[in-house]
Amino acid sequence: MATAHNNKPSRFLPILLAIAIFMQQLDATILNTALPSMAADLGQSPLNMQSAIIAYALTLAIMMPLSGFLSDKLGTRKLFMGSMIIFIIGSVLCAASNNLTLLVLARIIQGLGGAMLTPVARLTMMQAYERSKLITVMNYAIMPALIGPVLGPIIGGYLVEYTSWHWIFLLNVPIGLLGLLATWYIMPDFNHSSNNYFDGLGFFLFSASAFCMTLTFETMSHANNVLFGCMMAIAGIGALIAYVAHARQNNRALYPPHLILVRTFRLGLAGNLVSRLGMSALPLLLPLLFQVAFNYDAVNSGWLLMPLALAAIFAKPFLKPLMNHFGYRNILAWNTRIIGILMMSLALISANTPQWLILLHLCILGACNSLQFTGMNTITLADLRPNQVSSGTSLMAVNQQLALSFGIAIGALLLQSFSHSNFINHNITSAFRITFIILGIFTMLSSWIFARLHAMDGENLLTRKK
């Protein structure tokens, strides 16, 4: 049975949760434009900095399944405050890092805190408000999740240009301290102490598989680590097979096998993972292209990235009319092909390309990405039964973070491989172009997953009365 610190939620609760979500989302994007400056300071190649982003994204993916269990055991207020403290400590350690290894370790600590902020915020909202008010307050609190990616690259660019990259992480300290103070007075404390079960073995096997598979792509980018990468791939596949075997014998598994029996969930999950690989690599590749290959400054790079996220906000209202007219299968399959073509056409831009044309290109790409993300997420959950929604939503969120980790690792692997290739005479611009073409082709080919949807799939979502 749930207990609450306050029976009536404070009117400032959505603001508090919005701040926490904004801080986490901002941190996920602000780092991209600063990578070349950080690399110079840490004595690394800019093409070797992807591990700082992967470490954070992978930690989020691994730790997210724990959020519900820890909320039940500790209560939402204690867990939220503890997560924010860990996030602040991790931010300070990131700023204090003087080499890439320490930075990666600090990013893992930061991710341990960040992994809980958004899930606990969402859980608190669901328990604090009646269903009639939930949609309104949820949209209000989650709006920063859309604004954070818009401001992140720009703020990162200005901080790097006029201060130093350390302030990218130190910025979290005052925001986090204010959040802690507000949490103490505003955050309700919900818990379900009677729920003591957690699939620890399933969590370990699933996490081990995700970790090993990500490490496979990351280590293979270094020529002397190919054998180790192959070993990690075998270990990751083995852990996944072991998890499936475990889940079939456990009716309270972390992610029950019956989820995959739902056809739209299975196709939506696969499409989410595969089509996001190329899209997830862009926030890493584009700032490097602008700053390393084109010699743009960090501020200019940040402004050029803004349309990717800004267009995503303005495109969302068009999703339902398009789905009503064309259907989920047609939109998702054809939009994936369009995204692939747009990604491949990034190979055509150069340092002399008018920047308004680059802005227009990325604006269209951002709008298409937004339609794809929202459509994929919606169709994935469309046919789940009430008892499957919780675990299905959790698996989809983890799947998205894994796609981000894999996409960044694959994009970096391709870029580093081609940048050292004699075939293109170690030309960095050509390396970017070939990488964009391969990722675009891969994204286009992923459309066959959505083509397997039925023409009427998602019809219940379009005809449902509000």
Full residue range of the structural domain in which residue 76 is found:
1-188
Residue 8 CA to chain centroid, in angstroms? Answer: 33
Partner residues linked to 192 by β-bridges: 2
The last residue of one of the domains, among 188, 222, 239, is: 188
Pair 111, 230 in one domain? no
3-state secondary structure of 251: coil
3-state secondary structure of 2: strand
Q: What is the 3-state secondary structure of 182-201? A: HHHHHCCCCEECCCCCCCHH
Q: Output the pTM of the full model.
A: 0.85
Q: Is residue 194 part of a domain?
A: no
pLDDT at 1: 41
Degrees, nearest 5: CA angle 342-269-393: 120
The CATH number of whichever domain residue 399 belongs to comes to: 1.20.1250.20
Q: How many CB atoms lie within 10 A of CB 40?
A: 12
Q: Over the Cα atoms of the chain, what is R_g? A: 22
Residues of the chain with pLDDT under 70: 1-9, 131-145, 192-196, 221-224, 425-426, 460-466
Pair 240, 311 in one domain? no
Task: Give the integer Cα–Cα distance in Å for 76 and 187.
Answer: 8
DSSP line for 208-226: HHHHHHHHHHHHHTSGGGH
Pair 171, 241 in one domain? no
Task: Give the integer Cα–Cα distance in Å for 398 and 403.
Answer: 9
Domain count, the chain: 3
Pair 154, 214 in one domain? no
pLDDT at 242: 94
Structure tokens at 21: 């979500």
pLDDT digits (tens, 9 = 90+) for 170-221: 988 998 888 888 888 888 877 765 556 788 899 999 999 989 988 888 777 6
Q: How many CB atoms lie within 10 A of CB 390?
A: 11
Partner residues linked to 3 by β-bridges: 191
129 DSSP 8-state letter: S
Pair 89, 173 in one domain? yes
Pair 369, 238 in one domain? no
Pair 130, 33 in one domain? yes
Pair 345, 269 in one domain? yes
